[in-house]
Structure 1
Amino acid sequence: MLRVKNLNVFYGGIHALKGVSIDVEKGKIVSIIGSNGAGKSTLINSICGIVKYKDGDILYKNEKLPKQAHKIVKSGICQVPEGRIIFANLTVTENLQMGAFLRNDKQGIQKDMKRVFELFPRLEERETQIAGTLSGGEQQMLAMGRGLMSNPDLILLDEPSLGLAPLLINTIFDIILEIKEMGKTILLVEQNAFKALSISDTAYVLEQGTITAQGDAKILIKDEKIQEAYLGKKKVEIK
């Protein structure tokens, strides 16, 4: 569904992504794991048209992806950004409606709103509440629900567990699996490597702008070097 080929991104003189290539198959969960500053969010933002890349190609459904963010959303890709970035002064329902701003199929929008409330019952309980007064976990649910309201085929999740309590993290990852069961394809950027690998089909390790490992997530989670670097053992360099 998505193919990133030899992507290079610079911030001034800093080479943030160095020839990064990834493939995302339809109906799969693909994870990008790595430490802070590895380039994970830069990769996501490059796909979404927020960060401009110097060279390389991004193909979506075998066609070159447009570089304008609104055209990317219209093509069937949505991003659930790091830090949630909800509209704090709008209600829960208004935030969800904003997710559907490029749509004009009223019945489809109503159907998706109902589905979002089924996935996130807490949001339905707070549908008239101002979003800025929600808890961190509820705001993450709202950000995910808002993304689903664009009716995407591919969802880019950027650090969905950031700042959440362990119990809520488990809830969010359970919901990610439910979203996959809806037929959605997911590209997941996540610092919680164990949780990410445990639900993913394939995964990539990004270190200082370079892919250093890739493959079946069930194999990577058992890899000794990855365990030492990301799963709580003594950190070693991945070569």
Structure 2
Amino acid sequence: MLKINNLSVFYGGIHALKGVSLNVEQGQIVSIIGSNGAGKSTLINSISGIVKYKEGEIFYKGEKLSKQAHKIVKSGICQVPEGRIIFANLTVMENLRMGSFLRSDTNGIDKDLNRIFDLFPILKEREKQVAGTLSGGEQQMLAMGRGLMSNPDLILLDEPSLGLAPLLINTIFDIIIEINNMGKTILLVEQNAFKALSIADYAYVLEQGIITMEGNANELIKNEKIKEAYLGKKNVDFISV
């Protein structure tokens, strides 16, 4: 579904991505793990048209992907950004409606809205509430729901667990699996490597702008280097049992 060839991104003199190549197959959850500053968000932002890349190519469904953000959304790709970035002064319902701004299929929009309320019941309860007054977890659910309102085939999730309590993190990842089961393909950027690998089909390790490792997520989660660098002692002990 998504193919990236030799992508390079510069911020002035800083070489943020250095010839990154990866593939995302239809129906998969593909995770990208790495430490802060590795280039994970830059990669996601390059796909969605927010960051302009200097070198390389991105193909979506076999065709070269536009570099214009609105055309990328219209092609069937949405991004749920790091930090949620909801419209704080609008209501929950208004935020969700904003997600469908490129659509004209009224019946389809209403159907997707009902599906999102089934997926996130708390949003239905708070549909008239100003979004900025929601909790962090509720805002993350709203950001995900807003993305789904564009009716995407591919969802780019950027750090969905950021700033959330452990119990809420588990809830968010359960919902990501549900969304994948709805037929959506997911490219997940996540600093919580254990959770990201636990739900993924395939994964890449990004370090200082370079893909240093890739493979089946079940294999990577057992890799000693991955355990030492990203999973922490508690999770290493759990995996080793």
TM-score range, shorter chain: over 0.9
1:59 and 2:59 aligned: yes
Q: Cα deviation per residue 1:79-102 (whole Å; 9 max; x = unaligned)?
A: 000000000000000000000000
> Following superposition of structure 1 onto structure 2, how do residues 86-235 of structure 1 map, counting pairs within 5 Å?
86-233=86-233
Helix, strand or coil at the partner of 1:231: helix
Aligned partner letter, 1:146: R
Superposed, 1:21-100 pairs within 5 Å as 21-100=21-100
CA distance in 1, matches of 2:119, 2:165: 19
Q: Distance in 2 between matches of 1:18 and 1:223?
A: 24
2-structure distance, mates of 1:47, 1:4? 9
Q: Which amino acid aligns with 1:94?
A: E
Structure 2 distance, partners of 1:54, 1:233, is: 39
Q: Output one character per residue of 1:48-88: Cα deviation in whole Å (capped at 9) or x when no partner.
A: 01001011000000100000000000000000000000000
AA at the equivalent of 2:107: Q
Q: Distance in 2 between matches of 1:92 and 1:184?
A: 23
C-alpha separation in 2, matches of 1:97 and 1:135: 20
Shift of 1:220: 0.1
* Post-superposition offset of 1:233: 3.7
Q: Counterparts of 2:32 and 2:209 in 1: how far apart (Å)?
A: 12
For residue 179 of structure 1, what is the amino acid of its counterpart?
I
Q: After the TM superposition, which residues 10-29 of structure 1 pair with which residues of structure 2 at under 5 Å, given as runs?
A: 10-29=10-29
2:67 and 2:9 map into 1 onto residues whose CA distance is 14
Find the aligned partners of 1:155 and 1:52 in 2 and give their Cα distance. 19
Question: C-alpha displacement at 1:212, in angstroms?
Answer: 0.4
Q: Distance in 1 between matches of 2:123 and 2:170?
A: 17
In 2: Cα distance, 1:135 partner to 1:146 partner: 16
- Deviation for aligned residue 1:196: 0.3
Please state whether the residue corresponding to 2:58 is helix, strand or coil: strand
The amino acid across from 2:31 in the alignment is: S
RMSD (CA atoms): 0.8
In 2, distance between residues paired with 1:33 and 1:143?
21
- Identity %, equivalent residues: 82
| CA–CA separation in structure 2 for the residues paired with 1:22 and 1:101 | 30
Which residue identity is paired with 1:2?
L
Q: Give the letter for the 1:47 counterpart.
A: I
The residue type paired with residue 112 of structure 1 is D
| Residue in 2 that maps onto 1:237 | none
State the alpha-carbon separation in 2 of the partners of residues 90 and 105 from structure 1: 23
Corresponding residue for residue 8 of structure 1 = 8
2:31 alignment partner, SS class: strand
How many residue pairs get aligned? The number is 234
What residue identity is the alignment partner of 1:140? Q
Q: Distance in 1 between matches of 2:127 and 2:11?
A: 40
Q: Distance in 1 between matches of 2:206 and 2:158?
A: 14
TM-score by length of 1: 0.97
